[in-house]
Structure 1
């Protein structure tokens, strides 16, 4: 499920308006764009919106998405779909870089959660 879809679904389940969710964080029009998957919010904005809506554990959500993509990459490799495997590998490198830059507590010392320097 995309971020915008999850935010909108949660907002509707909690019977909140866009105005209530956006207040003090972002504009209503920007929230609308997020909910319609037209823009991707910063991690800070996403964290604040998740907090407002009572959505827990952004880290676990991102980790689950990463694991799902790794399983799809493995399938492409075992299916000998070289084009798809290369495409998935490039996508995974970006996801790992993003994960390390947003979630690794001491990435300067350890290089992050995952090594992305393997070629």
Structure 2
């Protein structure tokens, strides 16, 4: 089972969402950015590293949300979501087809990757 972190990055009352590239698994689905935890790496270190590598952003890590175990047809993952705050850097989509800052109220209008749906729902309950 893959162990993956994701960041719900807040900036000016919006959160950062990312659309997967057509060539990735789960093509064109929306997700909160993050990535696989490397052996010996902490969840927080993973998230800071992945967000810097994929988006060129610096973040601070806050509270964690409920983790999600999700089974796709060809793989399973254990997702660890964290509330984060934008600290700096110029946003660049290095691995995603697009990234955007969105209002929490609009999140359910996107076609989310299955594992991210419970995170979106929890986020909407917390912030509305």
Q: Pick the structure with more strand per residue.
A: 2
- Same fold at TM > 0.5: no
Q: Which has the higher contact order (CA 8 A, sep 6+)?
A: 2
TM-score class normalised by the smaller sequence: under 0.3
Structure exhibiting the larger radius of gyration computed from Cα positions: 1
What's the TM-score once normalised by structure 2's chain length?
0.26
